[in-house]
Structure 1
Amino acid sequence: MSVTTTVTELRTLLASDEPPVVLDVRWALGDPHGRDHYAEGHIPGAVYVDLDTELAAPPSPEGGRHPLPRAEDLQEAARRWGIRQGQRVVVHDDLGNTAAARAWWLLRHAGLTRVTLLDGALGAWRSAGLPLESGVPADPPHGDVVLDEGALPTVDADGAAELAVSGLLLDARAAERYRGEVEPVDPRAGHIPGALSAPTGENLAADGTFLPPEELRKRFEDKGAAGASRIGVYCGSGVTAAHQIAALEIAGFEAVLFPGSWSAWSADPARPAATGPLPS
């Protein structure tokens, strides 16, 4: 199945006999008001998803700021969102899907295949002149979806360190965080030695849609993806790295996620940190 759904396609699907569940994952680092933004205006029928509490387990030094939730907890949440077995799901945020990709990846990891990102996110819906509704609607009817885990691969800190040596490890954070010039939230600045900088924002065109597949492929080939035996991705806490994995899939590459990402790596004083523009 495609990674993305266009606004035109979503509008058609919503008017069909089998409409998808639309998940609104409004979240940004340093902005805890996602639910308020959702209430101000959202795609009619969309269900708000709280990234911190529904798409992550409680933070810990070992697991990072956004550990993967348990399968049973994600299943309970997905049923609250109204997802039925076999139903399509379209997810979006209001930031180029850099947060919504976490839901896309988690549901794919949990075994669902009919999950896509709304290309261009909420901005594309607005730009098309389509209506928004305000307020917080009543909860949807409970779904019956059955979720598991492990359908998509992950690595731990040791696996990420190995990928940086024997494969290709991409750091999806902003370049200044990779270089160690700033660190707004995690214990230490810098990057995993051997990782290459590949900021998530560079996956997107100016309008917030993904770059065309051929441009994404060149972007990752320039990083060494074509010759890599295995590709891994991390970010600050395993959120925007999921967007990188989506972009890699559009480009024709498979990649594994390091869920703890820099938040877990930097919390372990035994793990080295590199700084500057070079991998090591």
Structure 2
Amino acid sequence: MTSNTLSFQSRLPRGHADYCDPSIEALFKRHGLSDFETLWNASARDVDVPNHERGGVSTVSLLELEGEDGNTRRFFLKRQTNHLARSLQRPLGEPTFSREWRAIRHYHALGIPTVKAVWYGERKNTISHQSSPASGWRAILVTAALENRTDLDHWHTRWETLDDNLRSQIIMASAQLTRRIHANGMMHGCLFPKHLFLNDPSNAPSNPMNAVIIDLEKTRRFILERHERLRDLSVLWRRLTQWRESDWRAFLAAYCDCSPSDAQVDRWLERLDKRASRR
């Protein structure tokens, strides 16, 4: 993302201040990344196509920084311009990263495993020509890379080649994390397999497989709990096409904390199948 050459004034919204995690402050300063503008103009490799939804643009880049010890730390540098979400509280809109930033902090407070946000800042820009892309909102969110973890999509593409024990671990870890999110009264809102990251037990056999959730932009508290639980689960149902009924029974048993033959599992299978048939 390049800087705009037009002249504009940039100000912090009222009540907001830039956040920098103390653990990365020295590292970022070492590389000259000490404030909003230096991060905004930092050179980093894009890892996804720019998102042009919501009337703005949002990009994700990989930022690799070498520490004094010679080790490289990896971060995802996320920058957006006028990529806004509107709500009753913010009818004129706010950066979607602002929502994600608050959600990450909330998930950590609830003890739900998610990414670590190490830097956040936002600016409201004003210039003489309001139609210019330089006007409006800019936001930066930096998260620490999830090292030694692979998303559920990756495991799913290899599903038939995995042994029963590994498949069982993947199902259990995914179900337990989903259960934990919902048990805390939250709907993820975008529960794609690519947003569930699991550790590879072959790298550390003594550590059980567990899952971490990412992309919390659309997460929110339940309003109609059963309906919203079903919405989240149906996203996985539609995409995990290689899972057999026995896999889903194992997942839903862990999700409901019951036996795979329990009536609760039967009811969830019926709801998921019925919802999928309507699409």
Structure 1 length-normalised TM: 0.27
| Higher-strand-fraction structure | 2
Flag the structure with larger Rg. 2
Greater fraction of residues in helix: 2
Higher RCO by CA contacts (8 Å cutoff, separation 6 or greater):
1
